[in-house]
Amino acid sequence: MLSEVLLVSAPGKVILHGEHAVVHGKVALAVALNLRTFLRLQPHSSGKVDLSLPNIGIKRSWDVARLQLLDTSFLEQGDVTAPTPEQVEKLKEVAGLPDDCAVTKRLAVLTFLYLYLSIFRKQRWTKEDLELINKWAFQGERVIHGNPSGVDNAVSTWGGALRYQQGKIASLKRPPALQILLTNTRVPRSTKALVAGVRNRLLKFPEIVAPLLTSIDAISLECERVLGEMGEAPALEQYHVLEELIDMNQHHLNALGVGHASLDQLCQVTRAHGLHSKLTGAGGGGCGITLLKPGLEQPEVEATKQALTSCGFDCWETSVGAPGVSVHSATSLESRVRQALDGL
């Protein structure tokens, strides 16, 4: 029954500015999206732990008794810790996935098992403890990405808009409710490989790449300043500044080697409609964001979305600044969300 279920959600996120530069100590600005991932936790008496991730086609089950008998001493290293390569290899044995399992599915299952065995073994998790949620989410990111910046887990935990630099997080005060298009090019990429590629390019061409990272940092700071001035009554000129910053940052990211033909196509399509776009996240495919100016007629927005969809992309219209990880009652959810959860 849905009434017996603990329902938790966390927002998606995009990085406005600071991709890759944040890994090298620069500022990143990240915002939570009003596009949420829902988690349903439901106790039952089958003696099994069931994992269902319908968006990527995962449905797995493990005997609780078998998991409890496992030698999980390899996870006992004090407080929240980073998974080691040896731990990941042992988790692969526990997962029991076939050799031809897709990388995305394998990483999702390994992340779940690592967090399940670590958190429930320690009996320390509570939904109110956002700091602990953020720490564990970061470790899940490490299973997937290797050396993440910490931005993704932080903004999904805390929500709103955040300034992130070298592990220090600060909320942006009263950021404007920007409307954006989030577009998924559906081109798969490896964040770990892209981050490593930027690092290698920095080592190979330090006098060229270091100034690029410094310039991206300056773009992030200028965007932070403009957002702070916009408040509740933004001026059109301020949107023009944001558009210029978007264009400059996209060119910088291309120079770092994290662009992709699909992202170039995304920018060209939206530019034809008078809009400005950039990649968000690791690049190399993946997703891009497009700023929607106030006063833009809805038919023009729909025409842009249709043009992007015609390219084979997925596109969503949404806003930024969503609340962070949240607990819901069943009655508070939209009917489409309840129906989707009932179908798991």
Give long-range contacts, CB 8 A cutoff, 24+ apart: 145-153.
145/191, 145/192, 145/195, 146/192, 146/195, 147/23, 147/192, 147/195, 148/191, 149/22, 149/23, 149/28, 151/13, 151/15, 151/18, 151/22, 151/28, 151/30, 152/13, 152/30
Q: Is 152 a catalytic residue?
A: yes
The active-site residue, picked from 152, 217, 264, 314, is: 152
Q: Which residues pair with 169 in a beta bridge?
A: 164
Q: Which residues pair with 279 in a beta bridge?
A: 288
Count of Cβ atoms closer than 10 Å to residue 188 Cβ: 11
CA distances to 46, 99, 244 from 62, rounded to whole Å, are 11, 18, 51
Task: Point out the residues that are catalytic.
Answer: 152
